Structure 1
Amino acid sequence: MSNLNRQKIVESVPQKGFFGHPKGLFTLFFTEFWERFSYYGMRAILVFYMYYEVTKGGLGMDKTLALSIMSIYGSLVYMSGIIGGWLADRVFGTSKAVFYGGIFIMFGHIVLAIPGSVTMFFISMVLIVLGTGLLKPNVSSVVGELYSEQDNRRDAGFTIFVMGINMGAFISPLLVGAVMGYSFHIGFGIAAVGMFLGLVIFMLTKKKNLGLAGTIVANPMSPAEKKKTFTIFGLSVVVIAIICAILIPQGLLTFKGFVNLVTILGVLIPTIYFVVMYRSPKTTAVERSRILAYIPLFIASVMFWSIQEQGSTILANYADERTQLDFAGIHISPAWFQSLNPLFIIIFAPIFAWMWVKLGKRQPSIPQKFSFALFFAGISFLVILLPAYFGGSDAMVNPLWLVLSYLICVFGELSLSPVGLSATTKLAPAAFSAQTMSLWFLSNAAAQALNAQVVRFYTPETEMMYFGVIGGASIVLGLILLMLSPKIQGYMKGVR
């Protein structure tokens, strides 16, 4: 997207009207609020739905398999952002991508809400993966379009946006977790209603609040390119379907093989993306330097999300089987722990936003903030190994240990997530704006693809080593990044 188009977009958006920010932030705040309400409500009970016995309303899957599926599902959700970002950049723009994605997500949750088989479960996963790939990276890209590159409100705006995400993510596990004991399908139905409300808000307010934001296709294809691309895409779908139809009945394409394939893709796809963007003739010399600066930030993000995303797998299982769920006179649903992360973000996001604005040019650089995030993430895992150290792996754990672990990890997330979103919009090459946002979410995809392998090593017997090794690795990587921060900052060519 040219600088002229960027300026036209900013001028078309009402710049005052939502806590001192552009009016469009209201539309995107509540669209993403309801989308995250639906996603995190579903996710809070999904792993339990998979491994709970059929007599308890679950699918009766093996527990280790369920944890791996959860990680692979999370990886594919973010990996599909590549498709969503490409379609937005080359075909129909980010605004339409957000709308189409919301439709897919809503229908995915409706399918989950209908009692059915494992086949229905996987159909719903496909719909939600495709929908999130269209919506998630593109709604964040539209937020970036509301501000000029020199606007000091940008980081604070993204922090407010992330707070909206977490308000939806806080409320939904409480509601869905409360009905989990009655019916998983009621919970999934609540998630579908949430996505519907998000679509309604987006359609009713986008014209007035967003102006041209999300409507300009950054790098449109010519008619000849469209014909060639969609022909290749159609043939690829047919070939993949034929291969699966042949290999699956013969037992040659197993779930373990699929997990390994996704893990490889989780590393390979972002690597290819960095190479393509760096070598593209549409990328300027300054943009190439910024891409090099982005690589260590991406690696740090993979390490951080590898720990943070285990809140819906290892820590969810830990809450279900290792934690005292009768506490202070109430019975705690294990799904309610999924609300801790967004609750703490709601509390502390305004403080972090105020702190960055107050510090102004004296605030830590982007690489330094990322290194702090790795320190906090590592400490959060070291904290959770302490109960086993003091009381053994058989004793039930006070739930406050989990609360403390989530709290510490949130400090890391607030140092990385909104900062990473903002940095991505500033470091992205103009011709790859939405796709670079997809690349940011690929760090989460890579993290969860790796987690699909890692979670198999977790058992009550290996608990201390599991948390200790991963937590220690994060702290070491944080130290390395902190030492390299001045060098990385130089490659950013003026971006702070």
Structure 2
Amino acid sequence: MAEAVATPSHEADVSRALRRQTSFLGHPKAVGSLSFMVLCNSFANYGMSAILVYYLYAQIPTGLGLTQAEAAQLVSLYSACTVLTGLIGSYVADRVLGPRRALTIARSIQALAFTLLAIPFLGIFGYAASQVLLCIGTMAAGRSQDALTKKMYDLDDPRCDGAFGLQYVINNIGAAVPALVGTVALVSGYHVAFALPAALQIAGVVVYVLTQESYFGPIGLEPDDPMTPAAKRTFLIGLAAAVAAAIALGSWAFISGTVTISVFANAVSTVAIFVPLFYLAYIIKSKKNTREESRHVMSIVPLFLCTAVTNVVFQQAMGVLSIYSETTVDRMLFGIEVTPAIFSTLGAVFSIVFGSICTLLWTKLKRQPTAAAKVGFGSMIYGIAPLFMCLPFLLYPVGVKVSPLWIIGFWFIAMLGEAIGCPVGYSASAKVAPAAFSTQMITVWALTGSFGGGMATIMVNFYHEGSEVPYFMLLGGICIVISLAVLVFSRQLERGMGFASADE
């Protein structure tokens, strides 16, 4: 008997049936598979990040014996590099691999990277290889996971916001891992602790690979804007050569002392401010888009700025308030002084609680606020958080220990705002993405973090001890003003993004 050949009509029917599934908390089964991968990837990254800096400056043979300054710079350098390699990865997913293949390759490479850290005798070479592989993994996929999540819903399916909210909650669950991994590192050593992230990442890849055919069908298998075979071959050869040359040149520059880690990290961070702006302009002006697609992207720019400003607030508040938590907050609990890091853990707990509530609302509510209104309202609440922190600086003189409720209150307000707006922003960016830029558009949205971090680096020049009140008022005020503008024009923005009809 001749083997059945899948026709476009048959594939469309299969895709439609898969998108209508409600097996995973009211969502398609594929979203469940992706959510498990998010959980494993979150555990792996949080677990590695929790102990990596300590491993780098711990004395040999326990660690690598670097200075604390070198360790901190290397961790920052990794973060800066993943910002830019992620954009390349989204281009690769859109034009070469397709999001499903890109995600399989990327997570497999990253699992290998975590495994290298768990092997004791590799030393500094194992560390360097792991960081390079983690960046290559990012370069292979970018934001393919988010793009694939979006593909599991029709454009008018209200569950899409709920799916991104669900993955936001799951990603924040990873914040609980540092306590476990840190304890293992203390008891059994760093390499045993690194084995936990490696095992979790492998588990996520295995489940995803085993469920691909039955859960995803034809969805996300092919790139949205494929190159010709000849162009693909030329691109891959060129990319491989460029990566090899960059690794060789970077190794020579650092070993010879021509470039310091600090200088390179600062340069990459500065570039990260402008990359999302230039790339947004490139997407809007691309001839691959229809006029309507370009209009949709232009309409999301105010939401991009809104989210970028909240990231400025986050970066600046984290720096100032981390010091404040250590030096000024009363951290005695039942006679024991707790670490100031516990407050950021509380922030993750609030993210999980509020994110779960918002996910339920966006999944179940029939009549909802617009995406622009959600982002604007969430960002406005976020802007209230630094204004709230002006109060202890006004009420208490220097040197007085203050209640931890002030810091807890800050995280309560900020994470409520983030839970309302952040996942919806990712969902909106996925929906407005032109066909040729489905994954790249989500990566550009993710770069609101790099934009905010870069702007925060510039704004810190205006901060000095004693200027906390005007400084926080400025940050909160800017955030609230931009958020109010988005709220006022939310209906127009919604129509511009193509989420509402002209008569709404």
TM-score by length of structure 1 reads 0.84
Deviations 1:246-302 (A, max 9, x none): 654664423343233213321332233223322222201110100111222222222
Runs of at least 5 residues in structure 1 that lack an aligned partner in the other structure: none
After superposition, residues 383-422 of structure 1 pair within 5 angstroms as: 383-392=388-397, 394-395=399-400, 398-422=403-427
Indicate the RMSD between aligned Cα atoms, in angstroms.
3.7
The equivalent position to 2:176 in structure 1, one of 168, 171, 180, is 171
The equivalent position to 1:193 in structure 2, one of 196, 199, 204, is 199
Match of 1:216 in 2: 222
Same amino acid, percent of matched pairs:
29
The equivalent position to 1:378 in structure 2, one of 344, 366, 383, is 383
Q: Distance in 2 between matches of 1:39 and 1:374?
A: 26
One-letter code aligned to 2:113: G
Deviations 1:12-71 (A, max 9, x none): 4561311222111211111111111111233344556667899997966456x7666655
1:279 and 2:285 correspond: yes
The equivalent position to 1:339 in structure 2, one of 338, 345, 358, is 345
SS at match of 2:163: helix
TM-score by length of structure 2 reads 0.83
Runs of at least 5 residues in structure 2 that lack an aligned partner in the other structure: 1-7
Question: What is the CA-CA distance between 1:343 and the residue it aligns to?
Answer: 1.9
Q: Distance in 2 between matches of 1:311 and 1:46?
A: 24
Question: What is the CA-CA distance between 1:436 and the residue it aligns to?
Answer: 1.2
SS at match of 1:296: helix
Question: What is the CA-CA distance between 1:460 and the residue it aligns to?
Answer: 6.0
The equivalent position to 2:297 in structure 1, one of 291, 294, 301, is 291
8 Å CA contact 2:254–2:261 kept in 1: the answer is no
Q: Distance in 2 between matches of 1:54 and 1:460?
A: 38
Instruction: Give the number of the structure whose alpha-carbon radius of gyration is greater.
Output: 2
8 Å CA contact 1:110–1:192 kept in 2: the answer is yes
One-letter code aligned to 1:406: W
8 Å CA contact 2:93–2:142 kept in 1: the answer is no
After superposition, residues 74-473 of structure 1 pair within 5 angstroms as: 74-113=79-118, 121-132=127-138, 134=140, 137-167=143-173, 169-179=174-184, 182=187, 183=189, 185-237=191-243, 239-241=245-247, 243-244=249-250, 247-248=253-254, 251-308=257-314, 319=325, 323-328=329-334, 332-356=338-362, 360-361=366-367, 363-392=368-397, 394-395=399-400, 398-451=403-456, 467-473=472-478
Deviations 1:347-376 (A, max 9, x none): 222322343456544x33222222223222
Q: Distance in 2 between matches of 1:467 and 1:71?
A: 25
8 Å CA contact 2:42–2:172 kept in 1: the answer is yes
Q: Distance in 1 between matches of 2:248 and 2:63?
A: 34
Cα 1:152–1:410 change in 2 (3 A) is same
Deviations 1:164-194 (A, max 9, x none): 2223x24313323444655555543332232
Q: How many residues align?
A: 491
Match of 1:10 in 2: 16
Cα 1:375–1:52 change in 2 (3 A) is farther
One-letter code aligned to 2:90: G
Q: Distance in 2 between matches of 1:218 and 1:366?
A: 25
Question: What is the CA-CA distance between 1:138 and the residue it aligns to?
Answer: 1.1
Cα 1:45–1:159 change in 2 (3 A) is same
One-letter code aligned to 2:475: I
